[in-house]
Structure 1
Amino acid sequence: MTRYAVPAETERFTEAPGRPGALEINGGTTMQCDCKDKYLEAVREHVVARAPQGSEGFEIELAGYGMTFGDDGVNWIFKVDVKGEYKAPKKAGGMKSVKVNTFISANFCPFCGVKSKADEAEAA
């Protein structure tokens, strides 16, 4: 059995009390479900199974998850990045390019439908 060193930073991740599958990060939480880990492993297995024999160094990640920082700590959310560009008139005449870079966050897991964050009543 091969053992891998776990970076010290991961020690701050602990099982969130009363919510199986949810992790706590400095008082904040990940999504309330374990879909991210479950689907990441499924995708990894899919890629590894179809790779030519002798392939190595697989690095697979699920894009679309991000961190928020708030009064309740650090929280993981599922988000869809929104990027674009448009031309806006300049005061002195002509046009200038304006970039749009934002995101839309999901209140529910896109895979299983569980709420991203516990209700305040549930958390108390």
Structure 2
Amino acid sequence: MINIYPGGRDDIAKDKVDVRVLATISYLRETFGQVTVSCLISGHRLYARPGVVSAHIYGHAVDIAGLGNTSITGHQQPGGLTEAAVRDILLLPGEVMPKQVISLLGLGGPSFPLANHYDHIHIGW
């Protein structure tokens, strides 16, 4: 099952979301059985940081708030759910490998930790 907030469903219906984002959501659903998407384009602020437009605005990013009916919040410890998901994402083939995999964990490659990502995994291209 894939749970997507109404604005995100509208983003998909309007064909605004990058196919790599959609494929990664499907991959995570296959792996974990359930995915909760908390942000695609709608509802995200324009800038990721001062002067840098967020990849979300272009449909090139997704925030994952839950996997397998478990919230990312409180499940970012080493060896836990978030680590398993990030490691699975890092196994994607080069042509679909994200440029950013942000959570509280830095596991090499394009993954790195940011404290304000305690409640989701950001995956962006």
TM-score band, normalised by shorter chain:
under 0.3
Between structures 1 and 2, the one with greater strand share? 1
Between structures 1 and 2, the one with greater helix share? 2
**TM superposition score normalised by structure 1:** 0.23
**TM superposition score normalised by structure 2:** 0.23
Higher Cα radius of gyration: 1
